[in-house]
Structure 1
Amino acid sequence: MITKQLAEEIVEQTMIRLNRNLNVMDTNGMILASGETERIEKIHEAAAQVAKSGETLWIKETDLAAWHGVKPGVNLPIYFQEKLVGVIGITGNPEELKEISTLVQLTTEMMVHQSLITSHIEWNRKRNELIFDELTSGNPLSAAVHERISQMRLDQNTSFITLLIEIKKSPSLSRRIIEQLESHFDGQTIVTGHSQLNEIFLLMKNDEPANLQQKLTTLLQILQQTALVRMGVGVTVSSILDTRTSYLAAKNALDFGKPDQSLVYFEDVELIALLKHNPHVELENFTNRILVDLNDSLCQTLVMYFICNKNSAETADCLKVHRHTLSYRLKKIYDATGLDPTNFQDAVVLHLALTLRD
């Protein structure tokens, strides 16, 4: 059905170009919008007849006695997806309107199509956001969401994964990003929408790891052409009812991944995420106890040593120091902390302390 708001827009936009009075009626013949405002919300009998027959009706001066609330002109049916949704009337001499009536009808149907399609897409996305909100809330699902999930007819063997896209700039492009997501993962998308103002979610059917990585890398390249984004990838779950687990993992990926890291998998930050959920005071006590006697130079040496996977030659090259200097610094670290960076177990403790400090 044509809404009053859409009818007003049709009248306003069309009359500017046509320089004639226009009426837009609903399927009962009631005038929703008109250039003659006094006629709004009155019944147009000719429009009611057009809505009933589905055929164009011309009204001449000599026909006025047979109709109530009409003027000379033409009334044309408006269709959307082969269904009559309203009637448009042009006031004037029928002979003068024959050349423009079809054009007005087509233009109106195009405006209706664009508006209703857009409204349908927006309604679907809003529904998707409500479904995702329930799936990730941790509360029992409503009957409506259960019904919607059953309508999806998901394969019992299907697994799912959640992506979160954080828009760091240009949040106004979020609609375009959602469209790109839906297009990029065509056939895999379950629901997509906004989980927060600057955050977009995508719940999708999982793929082979190599395929997924390829698609995510390509997608990131596409998105970063128009917006500055980061992407968090959750864990795979075997049931859509476990979406919350995948969502929280994707959230942790964004929260604990490095700020300059564009694509973060939960597996990359899982250990840090688990530790970071401990009380802040306890974490601070741990890092202070381990690193308290290390200056910035020694901490930077340790960071580079771990980046180079404890390869002394490579670390020395990166730091632009002699290998003997590096050995001296590593010994100072051992003397200050009682932990030997060259020892695996001690290195784990030092690495965690540095990571948690950041």
Structure 2
Amino acid sequence: MYFLDAATAQQIVDRTMRIIDHNINVMNSQGVILGSGDSSRINSIHEGALLAISQNRTVIIDEGSLQSLHGVKPGINLPLHYHGQIIGVVGITGSPAQLTQYGELLKMTAEMMVEQASSMELEQWRKRQREEFILQLIRHQGPYPDEMHTWAKQLQIDLNMPRVAAVIELPAQATPHTNLRDIQLLLEYPQRNNLVALTALDQLVILKPAFLDGHCWNPSLEDLRIEKLLARLPADTKGVLKIALGHYFPGDGGIIKSYQTACETLAQGKQRAPEQTKYLYQHYVLPVLLSGLGDDWRGQELAAPFKLLQQRDRRGVLTKTLRVYLQHFGDQQRCADALYIHRNTLRYRLEKITQITGIELNSLDGLLQLYLGEVLGRLQH
């Protein structure tokens, strides 16, 4: 059942009094005045309204009625209906003989405004339900229970559709005219089957259909779609908005994994390339996959030799040499050329690195451990 609220009641009063040069009162189903052109009457009981509600009819109050009813003035009071139920009363103050022409018109206007307010309220409720469902999707691991399937059906969401997660970050107060709700509307309309929800004051998640070509997951197509989206965004978001695309995972629990990779891709992208706007998982696969080891003892052990090198290398020469050496896959000549040093100098530095870390650089395992240790070292900073 719909309950008339004070905001809607006062809105009815304000709009109708612009047209009708008489005081208007709107009462709820208990006869309490919720809205009035005379603020002193708000929250008082209107006995004429109670009579209109109990008898479900228009009640005319003339001078004679004033003796038997309390909290009333001359006028007419008409019951308001919504889906066959009485939800309140609208009253016009004045001489009943002069107000008859306004009665049904006022009643119809008030009921239309109630219908509109109810529709807006229902739409807001549906949006809240949809957002809460999306938040459940990015938190749920494993198969979906029957309750979620029922909920999805009510919201007309296809749980079987393959989806990939993206996250958008727009710092609060970063732009004078645009906020995340504006971005959300842009993503939802025109309808592209996106599921969009705010996850924080400065971040929202988009669960996008994963198969843009209708057949398989193609990150390149998603990259192009993101570029088109960025071109549509308001000018004041450029330079402050960040977007990251996660990886697609099929099967149960795929959405939460996709969301986690999107969040970690955003974190890695902001750290490594803060000047960029767009970050794609495929460009940050290794640091994203290693990020879970950052605080784990395995990750700490893996990073220990590289950290030791950093501690002993006060000027950073050996650390820089190792990074360049790794970038050139152990090719000493190319590494020496890139550093503008002689090969003998390079050989001396590599020996020092081996002495400090205890790791042989001429073995694949050694190179891999130092490389992963360097990546983890940046993750742990």
- Give the TM-score taking structure 2 as reference length: 0.66
Q: Distance in 1 between matches of 2:114 and 2:328?
A: 61
Q: CA deviation at 1:71?
A: 3.7
Matches within 5 A, 1:275-286: 275-278=290-293, 279=296, 281-282=300-301, 284-286=303-305
In structure 2, relative to structure 1, the CA distance for the partners of 1:341 and 1:101 (3 Å cut) is farther
Post-superposition CA distance 1:74-119 (Å, at most 9, x none) = 6485779x99966533323463685898589658845862x44543
Matches within 5 A, 1:191-340: 192-208=196-212, 209=218, 210-223=220-233, 225-227=235-237, 228-239=240-251, 242-259=254-271, 260=274, 261-278=276-293, 279=296, 281-282=300-301, 284-292=303-311, 294=313, 295-296=315-316, 299=319, 325=340, 331=347, 333-338=349-354
CA contact (8 A) 1:129 1:194 kept: yes
Post-superposition CA distance 1:138-174 (Å, at most 9, x none) = 4886654331124456668631112222222338822
Q: Paired residue for 1:23?
A: 25
Q: CA deviation at 1:180?
A: 1.8
Instruction: Name the SS of the counterpart of 1:161 in structure 2.
Output: strand
Instruction: Name the SS of the counterpart of 2:340 in structure 1.
Output: helix
Higher helix share: 1
- The residue type paired with residue 130 of structure 2 is N
In structure 2, relative to structure 1, the CA distance for the partners of 1:309 and 1:122 (3 Å cut) is farther
1:37 and 2:52 aligned: no
Post-superposition CA distance 1:235-283 (Å, at most 9, x none) = 2243575322222222222232234142223333332133232226335
CA contact (8 A) 1:234 1:250 kept: yes
Instruction: Name the SS of the counterpart of 1:44 in structure 2.
Output: helix
In structure 2, relative to structure 1, the CA distance for the partners of 1:23 and 1:286 (3 Å cut) is farther
- The residue type paired with residue 337 of structure 1 is I
CA contact (8 A) 1:312 1:326 kept: no
In structure 2, relative to structure 1, the CA distance for the partners of 1:229 and 1:85 (3 Å cut) is farther
Structure 1 unaligned spans of 5+? 317-321
Q: Distance in 1 between matches of 2:186 and 2:331?
A: 43
Q: Paired residue for 1:163?
A: 166
Q: Paired residue for 1:319?
A: none
Q: CA deviation at 1:293?
A: 5.5
Structure 2 unaligned spans of 5+? 213-217
CA contact (8 A) 2:17 2:23 kept: no
Q: CA deviation at 1:41?
A: 6.8
CA contact (8 A) 1:75 1:87 kept: yes
Deviating more after overlay: 149-158 vs 166-175: 149-158
- Give the TM-score taking structure 1 as reference length: 0.69
CA contact (8 A) 1:134 1:141 kept: no
Q: Distance in 2 between matches of 1:38 and 1:78?
A: 21
Q: Distance in 2 between matches of 1:104 and 1:307?
A: 78
- The residue type paired with residue 167 of structure 2 is L
Q: CA deviation at 1:27?
A: 6.5
CA contact (8 A) 2:309 2:319 kept: no
CA contact (8 A) 2:34 2:43 kept: no
Q: Distance in 1 between matches of 2:372 and 2:140?
A: 31
CA contact (8 A) 2:31 2:50 kept: yes
Q: Paired residue for 1:88?
A: 90
Deviating more after overlay: 24-33 vs 242-251: 24-33
